[in-house]
Amino acid sequence: MRYVRKALVLGVLAAMSVGCSSLSDVTDGDPREMTTADARAELQEQREGAEERAQEERDRARVRASLEGVTRAPHRSSDNQERDEFRNPVDTLLFFGMDTDQTVVELNPGGGWYTEIIAPVLADDGVYVAGVPHVREGDETYQRELADQFHNRIEQLGDLLGDISIGTFSPGDTVDLGETGSADLVVTFRNLHSWYNTDQLDDALQEVHQVLKPGGVFGVVAHRAPEDSDRDVRQLARQGYLPESYVIERVEAAGFVLEESSDINANPNDTADHPDGVWSLPPSLRGGEDTEEQFLAIGESDRMTLRFVKADQDRSRGADREEADGGEADGGEDRSRGR
């Protein structure tokens, strides 16, 4: 009987030995070593993630320092610097992800308020492109006035801006912003209502989509109307305002995806129902001295600040939503009312 027990024990030990040998063959080592290797890989991944985040913070701090230095530079007038309180240029451009080595396109730069901040930051390693309204000889229009203002300001600033590129941007007519897919960032400040009012909005968005690289950013700042307004989009746009939800819908329908929105440029004191629209507020103060104090107390307009990314394909969530609704993105007056 002792011999039987001994044989059984030896058999069990032999089986265990074979099993362990098989497990060793599969795992190529002690199972505990595999767990340790996984832990090491996870730790390495965490370290690399931390290093990447730290580098992003360093880059952000570097760009912030450059932007802040330019905003305080003597080439900026005291009037322009006073408007920083409402326009928040440093935080706005950082929100859009601007960097010093990018190609940045600014659409309809007006008198160059943002140009004198963006272009010097890009002067060494980046490229600044201005999309200025196209005017023909003999034109006496508001667009001509804007173009003249911009060119005069550029001449005043001279070499400070670096070797900038001045293109044209008259959607539906003449546009030259550079090669297709050449821009890292396209920015526009308080222009969307104008494009809407002149039936240029869709053309403008198509041009932005074309000049941006895949994954490039479209940064939008626009006067914001309350979402519960009893006026339709047409009425609001004539007053200089657009609902944020409507802007998002139209931009996404053009092949972009909203990555993030911000209240950097929000002003809850702006009710968006002024006698002369947004131009009642500073800096326009269209109502004159009688209402100047009232509107100075409100400050500049309430503004949406939106960061869109060019989608990999021409269709976006907005375009998909348009097809599902069986109609166009703006859907007419009935769908836009109250947005």
How far apart are the C-alpha atoms of 184 and 171, rounded to whole Å?
20
Do 31 and 98 reside in the same domain of the chain?
no
The reported pLDDT for the residue numbered 25 is 45
The reported pLDDT for the residue numbered 331 is 34
How far apart are the C-alpha atoms of 47 and 35, rounded to whole Å?
18
Q: Which residues of the chain have pLDDT under 50?
A: 1-10, 12-27, 314-339
Tens digits of residue pLDDT in 116-138: 999 999 999 999 999 999 887 76
Do 40 and 140 reside in the same domain of the chain?
no
Where among 71, 106, 130 does a domain terminate?
71
Q: Do residues 180 and 103 touch, judged by C-beta distance below 8 A?
A: no
Among 116, 115, 106, 111, which residue's Cα sits nearest to residue 75?
Answer: 116
How far apart, in Å, do the first and last CA atoms of the chain sit? 92
Do 12 and 99 reside in the same domain of the chain?
no
Residue 150 lies in a domain: yes
The reported pLDDT for the residue numbered 34 is 62
Question: Using only C-alpha atoms, what is the Rg of the chain?
Answer: 29
Do 66 and 143 reside in the same domain of the chain?
no
Structurally, how many domains does the chain consist of? Answer: 2
Residue 257 lies in a domain: yes
Please name every residue paired with 306 in a beta bridge, in sequence order, or none if there are none.
220, 261
Do 88 and 65 reside in the same domain of the chain?
no
Where among 71, 105, 132 does a domain terminate?
71
Q: Which two tokens stand for residue 179?
A: 């090669």
Where among 42, 71, 100 does a domain terminate?
71
Do 22 and 87 reside in the same domain of the chain?
no
Within 8 A by CB and 6+ apart from 66, the residues are 100, 121
**Domain range enclosing 168:** 81-266+302-336
The reported pLDDT for the residue numbered 100 is 97
Do 191 and 255 reside in the same domain of the chain?
yes
* Placement of tokens 């900026």 in the chain: 76
Do 119 and 209 reside in the same domain of the chain?
yes
Q: Do residues 145 and 184 touch, judged by C-beta distance below 8 A?
A: no
CATH code where residue 318 lies: 3.40.50.150
